[in-house]
Structure 1
Amino acid sequence: MTILIPSYEPDERLLGLIHQLKAVSDSTILVVDDGSGDAYSEIFDSAREAGCTVLTHRHNLGKGRALKTGFAYLQQKGATEGVVCADSDGQHLPKDIMRIAHAVNEHHDHVVLGSRHFTGKVPMRSRFGNSATRMVYSYATGTPIQDTQTGLRGYSVDMLDWLCRIPGERFEYEMNMLLEAKAAGYSLIEVPIDTVYLDENKSSHFRPLADSARVYFPFIKFCASSGFSAILDFVLLLLIQWVSANLFISVAGARLCSSIFNYTMNRSFVFAKGKEVAIGKSLPRYFALVIVIALLNYGLMHLLHERLGIPLIGSKLLTEASLFLFSYWSQRKFVY
């Protein structure tokens, strides 16, 4: 088993973790210095002296790139055992790292997550951040998990090629990994670990605004595509209704035009994984989903507008809000 530790501007806690791991395990320890600079060379030299392999980025490239550097190195060396990734700030206990290593050996073809339960004194940004990403992930995949932001994760050796191909260079890489695992044929398994925060998690290099935007980027892209499609659908609904005075024709005509636009955007921009998804596979599924959502759209609008007397604009807004998350989950799960 290899323990991979990506590290940027570490302190003595990295060396403490290394010595603790050496005391309880004979696992290989691979450290990636993500461009920390000369000021931190003494720490990484001490890691080498302790028996670790240290790879160095000349400049800071991000946690995702540091992980992929480690995975690529293991590939090149012909690794035959799995890998456990842990953070360098002392917030992953050696006993929990070993529990993840054991779970990797027991559960092949699974992404093993060290799952914190956020009990006790937890910094507000950590509690809020994980709650937000947990909700987004659950809606995006239909699979609830307890801890989407854990840095303690384990993988069997056959996953290395896939891990190197996942998009993302910084903190968004770990969210992309969760989003793509099922499509790649890998299940998720959570192993409970202790929740440890030192000094209110001040050692974390996570930037709340910039890195959160990267983490949520797949969802943000869908919001943008859906927003433009909704505007088009909204305008066409009003125009066709003004011409025909027939709600069914208005809903159907507006949805047909906006769905063609939305399919093109989602196929090429939102859900594409480095290349466009094959039309022959995604197009029938997409328009089957369009029919389902259109029927739900008509049914909800009929109920709200014609039965409850809510104005057309209000009915439209309520209907679209109700179907938005269902559409995102369905497209990621079934279409693309």
Structure 2
Amino acid sequence: MNSIVLIPIFEPTDKTIGFMKKLTQEPFPIFVVDDGSGELYKEKFQQLTLMGITVLSYPINHGKGYALKYGFKYIQELYPTSHIVTADGDGQHSIDDIKRMIQRMEYLPSDVLLLGVRHFDKQTTPTKSYYGNRLTSFIYYLSSGIKLEDTQTGLRGFHSNMIPDLLNIPGNRFEYEMNQLIDLVKDGYTMDILPIETIYENNNEHSHFRAIRDSYLVYRPLLQFLISSLSSALIDVLSFLILATLFGSHPFMLLVATIGSRVLSGLFNFQLNRKYVFKDQKRVQKSLSKYVLLFSCQLLFSWLGVMMLSHLLQSILICKLLVDGTLFFISFSIQKRFVFN
């Protein structure tokens, strides 16, 4: 086997040391990246060194994504290998599953990313982890069209030829692993999955995932899209009220006010999404033509949906919210995958 196991660690516990000691009994090199744990944990990393583990350190905590890229770069430059398997050092991955990942990598083509995928049972998975994984899987499906039950797994297998692309993927914290799944697929790589054991010790209380900051980093594209959509909706309503006041309430004038306000809000929405949400600075004309087609379809389906739903519900406002709320997620998926891809 020509494989390396790469494990980023921040503030290791005694359980971490025990897990690593068992892992050293296996016949593969182990590289640990100390993600700026500080002087208080220096002795524990020295224990890992005495076990024969290569420990890479830097003084300031930067996040899991930074630690992984630090390890990838070191291995690329100083320790060439065929495969790299990344794992977590908190005991969430069994040694048997790590060994199975390494064995599977030996038979996979060099353009395949291998993911150790867990199955989440609502009864046995911590509530935060269960719903967090469901949400990120949903967002990933919207973004890529790929159904993947476990987007947050840290047990992954890479061929060494992927390292240059892995180093170019943005993100220094937990969002880096989600970005891997998006960018590597976009770069032409495919994915294979290996079912693994689902392990959560002590209700996952030792996780370094920061609920607010790290959730924002992972879900940022959808949040930015929501802000863009809400601000565009505000422009739509305000411009409609202004135009309706100027042109009067004749049905034809209301139609003119509706179209005019939607065009203004649509242009505003296009610029926001292109520059800040999906960051597509090139191919403006091609993106604009796709956006206009999507915008026209949204306008049509919004009108048809509200008209049909109004026969079942008395409130036009509720009909509008239900229809446009559904179109919001459809529009995000289409813009991410086709308009600004």
- Per the normalisation by structure 2, the TM-score is 0.89
**2:219 maps to what in 1?**
216
Shift of 1:104: 3.0
Q: Deviations over 1:297-326 (max 9, x none)?
A: 232234345x66856544433332120000
Matches within 5 A, 1:59-70: 59-70=60-71
**1:54 maps to what in 2?**
55
Contact 1:267/1:277 (8 A) holds in 2 = no
SS of 2:264's partner is: helix
SS of 1:194's partner is: coil
Shift of 1:210: 2.2
Residues 39 and 16 (structure 1 numbering): CA distance in 2 closer, same or farther, change over 3 Å? same
**1:3 maps to what in 2?**
5
**1:325 maps to what in 2?**
329
Consecutive unaligned residues of structure 2, counting only runs of 5 or more, are none
Question: Which residue of 283, 290, 295 maps to 1:290?
Answer: 295
Q: Deviations over 1:212-242 (max 9, x none)?
A: 1221111111111111112112333444456
Distance 1:146 1:277 in 2: 33
Distance 1:28 1:290 in 2: 54
Distance 1:221 1:79 in 2: 40
Contact 2:24/2:53 (8 A) holds in 1 = no
2:206 counterpart of 1:203: yes
Q: Deviations over 1:67-120 (max 9, x none)?
A: 111111122226341211111111211111122223333333232221111246
Contact 1:172/1:214 (8 A) holds in 2 = yes
Shift of 1:268: 0.8
**2:126 maps to what in 1?**
123
Residues 22 and 135 (structure 1 numbering): CA distance in 2 closer, same or farther, change over 3 Å? same
Superposition CA RMSD, Å: 2.3
SS of 1:76's partner is: helix
Contact 2:133/2:152 (8 A) holds in 1 = yes
Distance 2:312 2:261 in 1: 23
Residues 129 and 152 (structure 1 numbering): CA distance in 2 closer, same or farther, change over 3 Å? same
Percent identical residues: 39
Alignment size in residue pairs: 332
Consecutive unaligned residues of structure 1, counting only runs of 5 or more, are none
**1:194 maps to what in 2?**
197
Shift of 1:329: 0.2
Distance 2:129 2:316 in 1: 42
Shift of 1:251: 4.1
**1:303 maps to what in 2?**
308
Distance 1:143 1:129 in 2: 18
